[in-house]
Protein backbone atom coordinates (compact mmCIF):
# COMPACT_ATOMS: atom_id res chain seq x y z
CA UNK A 1 0.00 0.00 0.00
CA UNK A 2 1.34 3.44 -0.88
CA UNK A 3 0.95 6.37 1.49
CA UNK A 4 1.41 9.90 0.12
CA UNK A 5 2.74 12.52 2.54
CA UNK A 6 2.58 16.21 1.76
CA UNK A 7 5.78 18.21 2.26
CA UNK A 8 6.20 21.94 2.56
CA UNK A 9 7.31 23.77 -0.65
CA UNK A 10 5.76 21.27 -3.03
CA UNK A 11 8.05 18.46 -1.84
CA UNK A 12 6.47 15.03 -2.00
CA UNK A 13 7.42 11.87 -0.10
CA UNK A 14 6.18 8.43 -0.90
CA UNK A 15 6.63 5.50 1.53
CA UNK A 16 6.21 2.17 -0.23
CA UNK A 17 5.63 -0.42 2.49
CA UNK A 18 6.44 -4.05 1.93
CA UNK A 19 6.45 -7.09 4.22
CA UNK A 20 9.56 -7.01 6.37
CA UNK A 21 10.29 -10.45 7.65
CA UNK A 22 47.23 -7.01 15.66
CA UNK A 23 49.38 -7.52 12.88
CA UNK A 24 52.26 -5.07 13.11
CA UNK A 25 51.50 -1.64 11.68
CA UNK A 26 52.94 -0.87 8.29
CA UNK A 27 54.28 2.46 7.16
CA UNK A 28 52.68 4.11 4.18
CA UNK A 29 53.86 5.14 0.75
CA UNK A 30 56.37 3.02 -1.10
CA UNK A 31 58.26 1.76 1.96
CA UNK A 32 59.62 -1.62 0.89
CA UNK A 33 61.24 -2.98 4.05
CA UNK A 34 63.68 -2.28 6.82
CA UNK A 35 67.37 -2.53 5.95
CA UNK A 36 70.38 -3.77 7.90
CA UNK A 37 73.00 -1.67 6.06
CA UNK A 38 75.08 0.53 8.36
CA UNK A 39 75.01 4.26 7.60
CA UNK A 40 78.26 6.20 7.81
CA UNK A 41 78.79 8.64 10.65
CA UNK A 42 78.66 12.33 9.83
CA UNK A 43 82.12 13.77 9.17
CA UNK A 44 83.54 15.83 12.04
CA UNK A 45 81.47 14.07 14.71
CA UNK A 46 83.30 11.64 17.00
CA UNK A 47 81.31 9.67 19.58
CA UNK A 48 83.06 9.29 22.98
CA UNK A 49 82.74 5.50 22.88
CA UNK A 50 83.46 3.80 19.56
CA UNK A 51 80.62 1.55 18.46
CA UNK A 52 78.22 2.89 21.09
CA UNK A 53 75.74 5.37 19.69
CA UNK A 54 72.09 6.20 19.14
CA UNK A 55 70.95 3.56 16.61
CA UNK A 56 69.42 4.49 13.27
CA UNK A 57 65.99 3.37 12.12
CA UNK A 58 66.59 2.08 8.60
CA UNK A 59 64.09 1.72 5.78
CA UNK A 60 64.08 0.92 2.09
CA UNK A 61 61.88 2.93 -0.25
CA UNK A 62 61.47 3.58 -3.93
CA UNK A 63 63.26 6.79 -4.94
CA UNK A 64 60.84 7.69 -7.72
CA UNK A 65 57.63 6.98 -5.79
CA UNK A 66 58.74 8.29 -2.39
CA UNK A 67 57.09 7.28 0.87
CA UNK A 68 56.80 8.03 4.56
CA UNK A 69 57.45 6.26 7.85
CA UNK A 70 56.95 6.85 11.57
CA UNK A 71 59.99 6.86 13.87
CA UNK A 72 59.93 5.17 17.28
CA UNK A 73 59.16 8.49 19.03
CA UNK A 74 56.21 9.24 16.74
CA UNK A 75 58.03 11.61 14.39
CA UNK A 76 57.08 11.35 10.71
CA UNK A 77 59.68 11.32 7.92
CA UNK A 78 58.36 11.95 4.40
CA UNK A 79 60.14 11.54 1.07
CA UNK A 80 58.20 13.04 -1.86
CA UNK A 81 58.63 11.65 -5.33
CA UNK A 82 62.18 11.94 -6.72
CA UNK A 83 63.56 13.45 -3.50
CA UNK A 84 67.13 12.22 -3.98
CA UNK A 85 69.88 12.68 -6.56
CA UNK A 86 73.27 11.14 -7.22
CA UNK A 87 76.20 13.40 -6.35
CA UNK A 88 76.55 14.29 -10.04
CA UNK A 89 72.98 15.63 -10.01
CA UNK A 90 71.42 12.77 -11.96
CA UNK A 91 68.09 11.37 -10.74
CA UNK A 92 68.08 8.21 -8.64
CA UNK A 93 65.99 5.29 -9.82
CA UNK A 94 64.90 2.22 -7.92
CA UNK A 95 65.38 1.22 -4.33
CA UNK A 96 67.29 3.34 -1.79
CA UNK A 97 68.26 2.97 1.88
CA UNK A 98 67.09 5.65 4.30
CA UNK A 99 68.56 6.03 7.81
CA UNK A 100 67.03 8.23 10.52
CA UNK A 101 67.59 8.78 14.24
CA UNK A 102 66.84 11.38 16.91
CA UNK A 103 68.59 12.88 19.92
CA UNK A 104 65.93 13.96 22.42
CA UNK A 105 67.83 14.14 25.73
CA UNK A 106 71.35 14.86 27.09
CA UNK A 107 72.34 11.18 27.14
CA UNK A 108 71.57 10.91 23.41
CA UNK A 109 73.54 14.09 22.74
CA UNK A 110 76.58 12.98 24.71
CA UNK A 111 76.96 9.52 23.19
CA UNK A 112 76.35 10.87 19.67
CA UNK A 113 79.39 13.13 19.94
CA UNK A 114 77.50 15.91 18.17
CA UNK A 115 78.99 19.30 19.14
CA UNK A 116 76.55 21.39 21.14
CA UNK A 117 78.40 24.71 20.91
CA UNK A 118 77.70 27.49 18.42
CA UNK A 119 80.04 30.36 17.53
CA UNK A 120 78.63 33.74 16.59
CA UNK A 121 80.39 37.13 16.49
CA UNK A 122 83.44 35.79 18.37
CA UNK A 123 81.25 34.44 21.17
CA UNK A 124 80.74 30.75 21.90
CA UNK A 125 77.23 29.74 22.92
CA UNK A 126 75.89 26.37 24.00
CA UNK A 127 72.80 24.91 22.40
CA UNK A 128 69.79 24.06 24.55
CA UNK A 129 67.83 21.67 22.40
CA UNK A 130 64.17 21.02 21.65
CA UNK A 131 65.29 17.96 19.67
CA UNK A 132 67.85 16.93 17.06
CA UNK A 133 67.72 14.43 14.23
CA UNK A 134 69.95 12.92 11.57
CA UNK A 135 68.73 11.80 8.15
CA UNK A 136 70.74 10.05 5.43
CA UNK A 137 70.03 8.26 2.14
CA UNK A 138 72.12 5.75 0.19
CA UNK A 139 72.02 3.55 -2.86
CA UNK A 140 74.42 0.62 -3.11
CA UNK A 141 76.61 2.23 -0.45
CA UNK A 142 76.80 5.59 -2.24
CA UNK A 143 75.65 8.62 -0.25
CA UNK A 144 72.89 10.49 -2.05
CA UNK A 145 72.03 14.19 -1.98
CA UNK A 146 68.73 16.05 -1.66
CA UNK A 147 66.87 17.11 -4.79
CA UNK A 148 66.33 20.87 -4.20
CA UNK A 149 63.11 20.67 -6.22
CA UNK A 150 61.62 17.87 -4.08
CA UNK A 151 62.91 18.02 -0.50
CA UNK A 152 62.26 15.42 2.21
CA UNK A 153 60.43 16.66 5.31
CA UNK A 154 60.64 15.77 8.99
CA UNK A 155 57.89 16.41 11.53
CA UNK A 156 59.86 15.77 14.71
CA UNK A 157 57.99 15.38 17.98
CA UNK A 158 59.09 17.59 20.86
CA UNK A 159 58.34 18.13 24.54
CA UNK A 160 59.28 21.80 24.28
CA UNK A 161 56.78 24.16 22.64
CA UNK A 162 58.84 27.33 23.23
CA UNK A 163 59.13 29.23 19.90
CA UNK A 164 62.56 30.61 20.89
CA UNK A 165 64.32 27.63 19.29
CA UNK A 166 65.85 28.09 15.84
CA UNK A 167 66.75 25.53 13.19
CA UNK A 168 70.39 24.63 12.46
CA UNK A 169 72.15 22.27 10.05
CA UNK A 170 75.59 20.80 10.74
CA UNK A 171 77.92 21.50 7.80
CA UNK A 172 80.25 18.50 7.57
CA UNK A 173 82.87 20.18 5.40
CA UNK A 174 83.15 23.32 7.56
CA UNK A 175 82.39 21.36 10.75
CA UNK A 176 80.11 24.06 12.10
CA UNK A 177 76.42 24.81 12.53
CA UNK A 178 74.59 26.83 9.90
CA UNK A 179 71.42 28.76 10.83
CA UNK A 180 68.37 27.67 8.81
CA UNK A 181 65.62 29.91 10.12
CA UNK A 182 62.77 28.58 12.23
CA UNK A 183 61.06 25.19 12.27
CA UNK A 184 57.30 25.19 12.02
CA UNK A 185 55.51 24.36 15.28
CA UNK A 186 52.27 22.39 15.10
CA UNK A 187 50.03 20.64 17.57
CA UNK A 188 49.95 16.88 17.18
CA UNK A 189 47.50 15.99 14.44
CA UNK A 190 44.32 14.07 15.00
CA UNK A 191 42.69 11.66 12.60
CA UNK A 192 39.97 13.25 10.47
CA UNK A 193 36.93 11.97 8.61
CA UNK A 194 37.39 11.26 4.93
CA UNK A 195 37.01 14.51 2.99
CA UNK A 196 34.00 14.92 0.70
CA UNK A 197 36.06 14.41 -2.42
CA UNK A 198 33.53 12.46 -4.48
CA UNK A 199 30.51 14.68 -3.97
CA UNK A 200 30.11 15.45 -7.67
CA UNK A 201 30.26 11.78 -8.69
CA UNK A 202 27.08 9.78 -9.19
CA UNK A 203 26.04 7.17 -6.69
CA UNK A 204 26.41 3.68 -8.18
CA UNK A 205 22.95 2.13 -8.73
CA UNK A 206 21.88 -0.83 -6.63
CA UNK A 207 18.85 -3.06 -7.13
CA UNK A 208 16.05 -2.72 -4.63
CA UNK A 209 15.22 -5.61 -2.34
CA UNK A 210 11.44 -6.15 -2.52
CA UNK A 211 11.48 -7.56 1.01
CA UNK A 212 12.72 -4.30 2.55
CA UNK A 213 11.03 -0.99 3.27
CA UNK A 214 11.83 1.87 0.93
CA UNK A 215 10.57 5.34 0.12
CA UNK A 216 10.71 7.74 -2.78
CA UNK A 217 11.87 11.36 -2.54
CA UNK A 218 11.14 13.88 -5.26
CA UNK A 219 13.08 17.08 -4.64
CA UNK A 220 14.02 19.44 -7.45
CA UNK A 221 17.41 20.43 -6.06
CA UNK A 222 18.57 17.01 -4.80
CA UNK A 223 21.33 17.15 -7.45
CA UNK A 224 24.94 16.21 -6.62
CA UNK A 225 25.60 12.49 -6.80
CA UNK A 226 21.89 11.89 -7.55
CA UNK A 227 21.80 14.17 -10.59
CA UNK A 228 20.59 12.51 -13.78
CA UNK A 229 18.72 9.67 -12.09
CA UNK A 230 14.96 9.23 -12.14
CA UNK A 231 12.78 7.11 -9.87
CA UNK A 232 15.44 6.52 -7.22
CA UNK A 233 14.21 5.07 -3.91
CA UNK A 234 15.87 5.07 -0.50
CA UNK A 235 15.77 1.64 1.06
CA UNK A 236 16.10 1.12 4.82
CA UNK A 237 19.63 -0.23 5.35
CA UNK A 238 20.46 -3.32 7.37
CA UNK A 239 22.28 -1.06 9.85
CA UNK A 240 19.05 0.81 10.64
CA UNK A 241 17.49 -0.86 13.70
CA UNK A 242 14.93 1.78 14.69
CA UNK A 243 12.73 2.12 11.59
CA UNK A 244 9.01 2.12 12.40
CA UNK A 245 6.62 1.48 9.45
CA UNK A 246 4.00 3.58 11.25
CA UNK A 247 6.10 6.67 10.46
CA UNK A 248 4.65 6.45 6.94
CA UNK A 249 1.37 7.82 8.24
CA UNK A 250 2.95 10.99 9.69
CA UNK A 251 2.91 14.25 7.75
CA UNK A 252 6.47 15.48 7.28
CA UNK A 253 7.25 19.01 6.10
CA UNK A 254 11.02 18.99 5.52
CA UNK A 255 13.50 16.40 4.30
CA UNK A 256 17.28 16.30 4.26
CA UNK A 257 19.62 13.80 2.60
CA UNK A 258 23.34 13.53 3.39
CA UNK A 259 26.12 10.96 3.31
CA UNK A 260 26.71 8.95 6.43
CA UNK A 261 30.01 10.14 7.99
CA UNK A 262 30.71 6.64 9.36
CA UNK A 263 29.11 4.14 6.96
CA UNK A 264 30.55 4.12 3.46
CA UNK A 265 27.93 4.23 0.71
CA UNK A 266 25.08 4.87 3.15
CA UNK A 267 22.87 7.97 3.32
CA UNK A 268 21.09 9.57 6.24
CA UNK A 269 17.58 10.71 5.34
CA UNK A 270 15.99 13.01 7.91
CA UNK A 271 12.32 14.01 8.09
CA UNK A 272 10.80 16.61 10.40
CA UNK A 273 7.65 18.58 11.15
CA UNK A 274 6.74 21.07 13.85
CA UNK A 275 6.75 18.51 16.66
CA UNK A 276 9.09 15.64 15.80
CA UNK A 277 11.82 14.31 13.54
CA UNK A 278 13.23 11.00 12.31
CA UNK A 279 16.54 10.02 10.71
CA UNK A 280 17.10 6.73 8.88
CA UNK A 281 20.19 4.97 7.50
CA UNK A 282 19.42 4.11 3.87
CA UNK A 283 20.73 2.69 0.60
CA UNK A 284 19.86 4.42 -2.72
CA UNK A 285 18.21 1.76 -4.92
CA UNK A 286 16.32 1.24 -8.18
CA UNK A 287 13.56 -1.15 -9.08
CA UNK A 288 14.22 -4.04 -11.45
CA UNK A 289 12.59 -2.05 -14.27
CA UNK A 290 14.67 1.10 -13.65
CA UNK A 291 18.03 -0.51 -12.86
CA UNK A 292 19.39 -0.96 -16.43
CA UNK A 293 18.52 2.64 -17.32
CA UNK A 294 20.17 3.88 -14.14
CA UNK A 295 23.35 1.89 -14.86
CA UNK A 296 23.54 3.34 -18.37
CA UNK A 297 23.27 6.85 -16.90
CA UNK A 298 25.93 6.02 -14.31
CA UNK A 299 28.41 4.66 -16.88
CA UNK A 300 27.95 7.69 -19.14
CA UNK A 301 28.59 10.14 -16.28
CA UNK A 302 31.64 8.18 -15.12
CA UNK A 303 33.07 8.24 -18.64
CA UNK A 304 32.61 12.00 -18.89
CA UNK A 305 34.23 12.55 -15.49
CA UNK A 306 37.18 10.16 -15.94
CA UNK A 307 39.86 12.80 -15.29
CA UNK A 308 37.99 14.21 -12.32
CA UNK A 309 37.57 10.72 -10.89
CA UNK A 310 41.28 9.97 -11.25
CA UNK A 311 42.20 13.16 -9.41
CA UNK A 312 39.71 12.43 -6.65
CA UNK A 313 40.97 8.88 -6.24
CA UNK A 314 44.53 10.22 -5.88
CA UNK A 315 43.38 12.70 -3.24
CA UNK A 316 41.55 9.99 -1.32
CA UNK A 317 44.62 7.71 -1.51
CA UNK A 318 46.83 10.53 -0.19
CA UNK A 319 44.36 11.17 2.62
CA UNK A 320 44.31 7.47 3.54
CA UNK A 321 48.13 7.38 3.72
CA UNK A 322 48.23 10.50 5.89
CA UNK A 323 45.60 9.11 8.25
CA UNK A 324 47.53 5.85 8.62
CA UNK A 325 50.64 7.82 9.63
CA UNK A 326 48.72 10.03 12.06
CA UNK A 327 47.00 7.08 13.73
CA UNK A 328 50.31 5.26 14.14
CA UNK A 329 52.00 8.43 15.43
CA UNK A 330 49.26 9.00 18.00
CA UNK A 331 49.44 5.43 19.25
CA UNK A 332 53.23 5.60 19.63
CA UNK A 333 53.20 8.98 21.40
CA UNK A 334 50.37 7.97 23.73
CA UNK A 335 52.31 4.85 24.71
CA UNK A 336 55.57 6.78 25.26
CA UNK A 337 53.89 9.52 27.28
CA UNK A 338 52.05 7.04 29.50
CA UNK A 339 55.18 4.98 30.08
CA UNK A 340 57.29 8.05 30.87
CA UNK A 341 54.68 9.35 33.30
CA UNK A 342 54.48 6.00 35.09
CA UNK A 343 58.28 5.68 35.28
CA UNK A 344 58.70 9.19 36.66
CA UNK A 345 55.99 8.66 39.28
CA UNK A 346 57.63 5.41 40.37
CA UNK A 347 61.01 7.11 40.50
CA UNK A 348 59.75 10.02 42.57
CA UNK A 349 57.86 7.77 44.98
CA UNK A 350 60.55 5.15 45.55
CA UNK A 351 64.04 6.28 44.57
CA UNK A 352 64.07 9.99 45.19
CA UNK A 353 63.23 9.65 48.87
CA UNK A 354 66.22 7.35 49.39
CA UNK A 355 68.89 9.11 47.37
CA UNK A 356 68.79 12.67 48.72
CA UNK A 357 72.05 14.46 49.44
CA UNK A 358 72.53 16.66 52.48
CA UNK A 359 71.58 19.68 50.38
CA UNK A 360 68.22 18.08 49.67
CA UNK A 361 68.90 17.48 45.97
CA UNK A 362 68.95 14.09 44.28
CA UNK A 363 72.36 12.72 43.30
CA UNK A 364 70.79 10.43 40.72
CA UNK A 365 71.57 11.23 37.07
CA UNK A 366 67.95 10.55 36.14
CA UNK A 367 66.72 13.48 38.20
CA UNK A 368 68.90 15.83 36.16
CA UNK A 369 68.99 14.29 32.68
CA UNK A 370 65.46 12.88 32.32
CA UNK A 371 63.26 15.13 30.19
CA UNK A 372 59.98 15.48 32.00
CA UNK A 373 56.78 16.33 30.18
CA UNK A 374 54.97 14.81 27.22
CA UNK A 375 55.47 14.93 23.49
CA UNK A 376 52.87 17.54 22.60
CA UNK A 377 53.98 19.24 19.38
CA UNK A 378 55.91 18.62 16.18
CA UNK A 379 58.67 20.78 14.78
CA UNK A 380 58.56 20.65 11.01
CA UNK A 381 61.49 21.15 8.69
CA UNK A 382 62.23 20.78 5.00
CA UNK A 383 65.56 19.02 4.67
CA UNK A 384 67.78 20.64 2.03
CA UNK A 385 70.78 18.51 2.97
CA UNK A 386 71.30 15.09 4.51
CA UNK A 387 72.96 15.08 7.93
CA UNK A 388 72.23 16.47 11.39
CA UNK A 389 69.45 18.99 12.03
CA UNK A 390 68.94 20.75 15.34
CA UNK A 391 66.06 22.72 16.88
CA UNK A 392 68.04 24.76 19.37
CA UNK A 393 68.38 27.94 21.34
CA UNK A 394 71.96 29.24 21.75
CA UNK A 395 72.54 30.28 25.38
CA UNK A 396 75.43 31.88 27.22
CA UNK A 397 75.75 30.82 30.84
CA UNK A 398 76.01 33.69 33.29
CA UNK A 399 75.78 34.03 37.06
CA UNK A 400 78.04 31.01 37.49
CA UNK A 401 80.81 30.12 39.93
CA UNK A 402 84.05 29.04 38.27
CA UNK A 403 84.52 25.71 40.07
CA UNK A 404 87.55 23.43 40.23
CA UNK A 405 86.76 19.71 40.23
CA UNK A 406 88.44 16.84 42.06
CA UNK A 407 87.11 13.36 41.45
CA UNK A 408 86.80 10.73 44.17
CA UNK A 409 87.07 7.07 43.26
CA UNK A 410 89.52 7.46 40.39
CA UNK A 411 93.16 8.47 40.23
CA UNK A 412 93.68 12.14 39.44
CA UNK A 413 97.32 11.74 38.44
CA UNK A 414 99.68 9.40 36.58
CA UNK A 415 103.25 8.97 37.79
CA UNK A 416 102.85 12.00 39.99
CA UNK A 417 101.58 14.18 37.16
CA UNK A 418 98.06 15.60 37.45
CA UNK A 419 95.58 14.46 34.82
CA UNK A 420 93.79 17.23 33.02
CA UNK A 421 90.45 15.52 32.61
CA UNK A 422 88.06 16.66 29.93
CA UNK A 423 84.48 16.20 31.11
CA UNK A 424 80.93 17.19 30.27
CA UNK A 425 78.16 18.73 32.36
CA UNK A 426 74.38 18.36 32.32
CA UNK A 427 72.38 21.08 34.05
CA UNK A 428 68.88 20.30 35.23
CA UNK A 429 66.15 21.76 32.96
CA UNK A 430 68.69 22.55 30.23
CA UNK A 431 68.32 19.92 27.54
CA UNK A 432 71.93 19.86 26.41
CA UNK A 433 75.47 18.70 27.12
CA UNK A 434 78.03 21.34 28.04
CA UNK A 435 81.33 19.79 26.98
CA UNK A 436 85.07 20.44 26.77
CA UNK A 437 85.50 21.33 30.44
CA UNK A 438 89.06 20.75 31.74
CA UNK A 439 89.44 20.61 35.53
CA UNK A 440 87.06 23.55 36.02
CA UNK A 441 83.54 24.30 34.88
CA UNK A 442 80.76 26.88 35.18
CA UNK A 443 78.82 25.93 38.30
CA UNK A 444 75.31 27.39 38.30
CA UNK A 445 73.99 28.26 41.79
CA UNK A 446 70.98 26.26 42.96
CA UNK A 447 70.97 24.13 39.79
CA UNK A 448 71.58 20.36 40.19
CA UNK A 449 74.37 19.20 37.87
CA UNK A 450 75.82 15.91 36.67
CA UNK A 451 79.49 15.79 35.69
CA UNK A 452 80.64 12.84 33.61
CA UNK A 453 83.31 11.46 31.28
CA UNK A 454 84.38 8.18 29.69
CA UNK A 455 87.77 6.62 30.39
CA UNK A 456 88.78 3.28 28.90
CA UNK A 457 85.14 2.40 28.12
CA UNK A 458 83.95 3.13 31.64
CA UNK A 459 81.42 5.91 32.15
CA UNK A 460 82.11 7.92 35.30
CA UNK A 461 79.48 10.30 36.62
CA UNK A 462 78.67 12.20 39.77
CA UNK A 463 76.50 15.03 41.06
CA UNK A 464 77.32 18.48 42.34
CA UNK A 465 74.71 20.54 44.15
CA UNK A 466 76.67 23.27 45.90
CA UNK A 467 78.20 26.59 44.86
CA UNK A 468 81.75 26.15 46.16
CA UNK A 469 84.80 27.00 44.10
CA UNK A 470 86.13 23.49 44.74
CA UNK A 471 83.87 20.51 44.11
CA UNK A 472 84.85 17.03 45.26
CA UNK A 473 82.77 14.72 43.08
CA UNK A 474 82.03 11.17 44.22
CA UNK A 475 81.94 9.12 41.05
CA UNK A 476 79.64 6.28 40.04
CA UNK A 477 80.86 3.84 37.38
CA UNK A 478 79.19 2.07 34.49
CA UNK A 479 81.13 -0.32 32.27
CA UNK A 480 80.04 0.45 28.71
CA UNK A 481 82.40 -1.95 26.92
CA UNK A 482 79.78 -4.64 26.31
CA UNK A 483 76.37 -3.05 26.72
CA UNK A 484 73.79 -1.84 24.24
CA UNK A 485 72.88 1.81 23.96
CA UNK A 486 69.30 0.99 24.94
CA UNK A 487 70.51 -0.64 28.17
CA UNK A 488 72.75 2.35 28.95
CA UNK A 489 69.78 4.70 28.75
CA UNK A 490 67.68 2.42 30.88
CA UNK A 491 70.36 2.28 33.58
CA UNK A 492 71.01 6.03 33.52
CA UNK A 493 67.59 7.61 33.08
CA UNK A 494 65.15 4.73 32.89
CA UNK A 495 64.07 5.06 29.25
Q: What is the per-residue pLDDT for 362?
A: 45
Q: What is the per-residue pLDDT for 408?
A: 86
Q: What is the per-residue pLDDT for 276?
A: 93
Cα separation, 363 vs 428, whole angstroms: 12
Q: What is the per-residue pLDDT for 364?
A: 61
Cα separation, 183 vs 374, whole angstroms: 19
Which of 8, 156, 130 minimizes the C-alpha distance to 71?
A: 156
Give pLDDT tens digits for 100-112.
999 999 999 999 9
Q: Would the pLDDT of 62 be above 90?
A: yes
Cα separation, 260 vs 257, whole angstroms: 9
Calculate mean pLDDT across residues 152-170.
94
- Give the rounded percent of residues in the chain with a pLDDT score beyond 70: 80
Give pLDDT tens digits for 12-58.
333 333 333 333 344 554 444 444 456 666 666 889 998 889 999 99
Calculate mean pLDDT across residues 296-310.
84
Q: What is the per-residue pLDDT for 372?
A: 62
Q: Would the pLDDT of 313 be above 50?
A: yes
Residue 301 DSSP code: H
Calculate mean pLDDT across residues 218-235.
72
What residues contact 415, with CB distance under 8 A and at least 6 apart?
A: none
Cα separation, 132 vs 167, whole angstroms: 9
Q: What is the per-residue pLDDT for 345?
A: 65
Q: Would the pLDDT of 378 be above 50?
A: yes
Cα separation, 419 vs 371, whole angstroms: 33
Q: Would the pLDDT of 485 be above 70?
A: yes
Give pLDDT tens digits for 181-214.
999 999 887 777 666 555 556 778 899 999 999 9
Which pTM does this prediction carry? 0.68
Q: What is the per-residue pLDDT for 203?
A: 79
Calculate mean pLDDT across residues 62-75.
93
Q: Would the pLDDT of 349 be above 70?
A: no
> In the beta sheet, which residues pair with residue 248?
none
Is 218 exposed, middle or buried, given 0-12, 13-18 or 19+ CB atoms closer than 10 A?
middle
Most confident of 10-14, 91-95, 290-294: 91-95
Calculate mean pLDDT across residues 172-185.
93
Q: What is the per-residue pLDDT for 325?
A: 85
- Residue 198 · residue 219 · CB < 8 Å: no
Q: Would the pLDDT of 237 be above 80?
A: yes
Amino acid sequence: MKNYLTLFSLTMLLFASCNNTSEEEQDTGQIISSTDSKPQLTSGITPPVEGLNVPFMQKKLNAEAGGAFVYETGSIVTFPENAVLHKDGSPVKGEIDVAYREFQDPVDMYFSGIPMHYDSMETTYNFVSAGMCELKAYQNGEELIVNPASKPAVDMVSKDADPVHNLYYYDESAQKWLPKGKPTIDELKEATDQPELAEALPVKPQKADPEKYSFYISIEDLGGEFQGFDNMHFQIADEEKNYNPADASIKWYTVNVKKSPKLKGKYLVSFSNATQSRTYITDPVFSEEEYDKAMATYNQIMKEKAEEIKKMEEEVAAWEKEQALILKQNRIIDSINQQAKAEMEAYQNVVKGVELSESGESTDIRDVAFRQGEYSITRGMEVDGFGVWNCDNPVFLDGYVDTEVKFEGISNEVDGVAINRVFSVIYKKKNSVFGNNIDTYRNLPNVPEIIFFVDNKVLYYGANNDNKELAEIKLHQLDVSSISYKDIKKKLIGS
